[in-house]
A and B are shown apart, each in its own frame.
Chain A
Amino acid sequence: MSPDELFEKLNTIKSSLTLFDQPLDNRIYLHCESENCFEINKFLFQEVGARFVIATAIDCEQYFEILYHYSYDQTGCVINLKCFIRDHENPQVESITPLIPGAEWIEREMHDLEGIDFNNHPCLERLILSDDWPEGEYPLRKDWTHEKEI
């Protein structure tokens, strides 16, 4: 696909998105709500054929964001899918590991460090934190500081 064809292809899912932004030729940002997240990931991985790079979870204090980074290597375009999880108390979203095995570790990492639950993840066990780390302490959340005693 040429860059224009990629743009057209991504335009076909515009109704599921809350924002479609292309600040640079090789950078695309898509925003969506957590309900549509799995379907759009599936579209990017299977229909567009983009390579899953990694995901970044961000604690925005009122809500969470997960950025799924994809790379469309034929044109070098990086597609960032930003998924908003509005429930800060009990954040959860559908796991993409059944779709992309390469996402297993990063989802476990986000579960450990930010406390986000991934529904239907095949093995949502500790990966980063040690086994004796207390439950409910998420070190990458904004209210967690280095001084905190656990």
Chain B
Amino acid sequence: MKKKYKLPIIASGPVHPLQEEMEFFQLYVDGETVVDIDVRLSYNHRGIEKISESLQFDQVPFLVSRICGICSASHPLAYVQAVEEIAGITPPERALYVRTIINELERIHSHILWVGLAGHFIGYETVFMWAWKYREPVLDMLEKITGNRNNYGNVKVGGCREDLPEGIDAEINPILDQIEKKMDMLTKAVLDDPILHARLKGVGVLKKEDAVAYAVTGPTARASGIPIDVRRDDPYAAYDLVDWNVCVQKEGDVFAKAVVRLLETFESIKMVRKAMAKLPKGPIAVEVKEIPPGEAIGHAEAPRGETFHYVRSEGGNTPARHKARAPSYVNVPSFKASCIGEKISDVLITLAAVDPCYSCTERVGVVERHTNRVIFDFDKLLQLSREKTEKIRKGI
């Protein structure tokens, strides 16, 4: 990273071997206010696009599901949609429903996970414990359907690899009812809490024009008043066959992002219920003989935003070029717009509000502008963030 100021910057190493998504944020501060931010990523670049060029078309879904553990249903789905577009394949209707169910269960567990982490960052440990407890049955359900809690590997070119297990509808509905009830309680608790209003409203605002300039997607865009959602705009799987709503907020602050995610969880629960009720009978895949030369794109709405894949075939059995873009790739740079001018104690929750993985926010260091000394590390920032919440709590 190029040094912006004359003296050296001291920072602890950004690579944590146990976490994914290494990223390193360096905040330049003047007193308590952030004046600039540097982001460096790719400490753990795995060269997935290059590896993809050496794998056969039907092997690539297993590779791309490992781009992100949490979004391991949406990456392969976007990829297979691109390949299906090249070959002109339409998967059977039942496969479209199965894809929808798995993707929405993924969104439910991802959003609940985020709610828990957001609570942790601002000192609401009860929210953290509750949310992760409520998330667990969703992962159990995914394990029952696909065999794995993450990295499901259920989607393939032409349909799905495995059908839903028999009798799953009798199990899934009571679990959805239970999660809905718990999330309803949690949502009301969050929306009615005066401390959370005071702590999160007006914090880390991403204005609509900045959201357009940084081309952000998903809940980050929807919380800034941009009503985009690939599931509605360019429908895939069975999203045009079930009713649901796109959740949009205007404010662009951390509170708005939380509201969007909480409301979306209910929409996803609704969608899984409807998809289960309408699930048609029939095969789950069509036979695919060869992938002709051509190029196509596939995109899917992952929990964090639009996952975009571009695939080019030259008629062989491997892709000639495969580009994958995860939503965080466009959401993370928007920190330049949302963090500058904020107080240090608000940075952590602002960074967490776009829902990058946990490790992203752990790599934060604060550098004093005049001396280039690293004055705060992640633990100190976490402490500051919680102290601010505590101060508000006492004030109320």
Contact = CB atoms under 8 A, between A and B. Distances in A.
Given A67-B310, A101-B333, A51 B215 contact: yes
B215 A52 contact: yes
Interface in A72-86: 73-78, 80
Given A51-B215, A54-B325, A76 B233 contact: yes
Contacts of A67: 310
Contacts of B297: 27, 69, 78, 80
B213 A58 contact: no
A103 B334 CA distance: 11
Interface string A135-150: 0000110000010000
B308 A104 contact: no
B325 A102 contact: no
Interface stretch (B40-48, B125-133, B138-146, B169-177): B40-48
Contacts of A125: 2
B287 to A, nearest CB: 23
A115 B107 CA distance: 37
Classify the interface of chain B: helix, strand, loop or mixed.
mixed
Interface string A35-55: 000000000000000011110
B272 interface: no
A139 B230 CA distance: 32
Interface of A: 24, 26-27, 51-54, 56, 58, 67, 69, 71, 73-78, 80, 100-106, 125, 127-130, 139-140, 146
- Nearest first, the 10 closest Cβ-Cβ pairs linking A and B are A76-B234, A102-B215, A76-B233, A56-B323, A54-B325, A102-B214, A52-B215, A128-B42, A73-B228, A73-B233
Given A54-B325, A76-B235, A102-B214, 19 more contacts: A51-B212, A53-B308, A54-B310, A54-B329, A54-B330, A56-B323, A58-B321, A71-B233, A71-B299, A73-B233, A76-B230, A76-B233, A76-B234, A101-B214, A101-B336, A102-B213, A106-B329, A127-B42, A128-B45
Interface of B: 2, 40-42, 45, 47, 49-50, 54, 85, 212-217, 228, 230, 233-235, 296-297, 299, 306, 308, 310, 312, 321, 323, 325, 329-330, 333-334, 336
